[in-house]
Structure 1
Amino acid sequence: MHKWLSYANEYVRQSDWKDLALIKLCLCSAGVLIGMSLAKRVKKLAAFGAMAVFIATYLPLMWKLLKIVTGDRRP
C-alpha cells in the first residue's frame, strides 16, 4: 500500500491544476453514474453521505485557499 501512495504522491507532483481538474471531473461523473443506479430507497442516505463528505472536504480546501490569497504562509 505504501508503494501505491508513493506513486500517487509522485503523480500529483508531476501534475498541474488542469490534470487535477480532469481527475475531479472524472470522479464526479463516476459518482453521478453510481448515484443514478441506486435504488430509490437508498438515494436519500447516499445524498446525505455525499453532502457530509462534500462539507468535510470543501471547508479545509477553501481555508487553505483563503490563507494563500491573503498571503498567510503559516502551516
Structure 2
Amino acid sequence: MKCLFSYANEYVKESDWKDLALVKFCLCATGVMIGLCIPKEKKKVPLLIAGAVFTVTYIPLMTKFLRIILRKDENAACEEE
C-alpha cells in the first residue's frame, strides 16, 4: 500500500492543474454512473453520505486554496513596493 501512495504522490508532483482536472472529471463521471444505478427509493442515504463527504473534503481544500491565494497576494504586494 505504501508503494501505491508513493506512486500517487509522484503522479501529483508531475501533474499540472489540467491533469488533476481530468482526474476530477473522471471521478465525477464515475460517481454519476454509480448514482444512476441506485434505485430511486434507496437514494436518500447515498445522497446524505455524498453530501457529507463533499462538505468534509471541500472545506479543507478551499481553506488551503485560499491560504495560497492570500500568500501569493502578500508576496505580490511586497514585490511591488
Length-normalised TM-score, structure 1: 0.90
Give the Å deviation of 1:65. Answer: 1.0
SS at match of 1:71: helix
* Structure 1 segment 42-53 matched on structure 2, within 5 A: 42-53=42-53
User: 2:34 — aligned with what?
Assistant: 34
Runs (4 or more) in structure 1 with deviation over 6 Å come to none
Give the Å deviation of 1:69. Answer: 1.1
What code does the residue aligned with 2:43 have? K
User: 2:69 — aligned with what?
Assistant: 69
Give the Å deviation of 1:41. Answer: 2.5
Length-normalised TM-score, structure 2: 0.84
Give the Å deviation of 1:71. Answer: 1.2
> Higher helix share goes to which structure?
2
Give the Å deviation of 1:60. Answer: 0.4
RMSD: 1.1
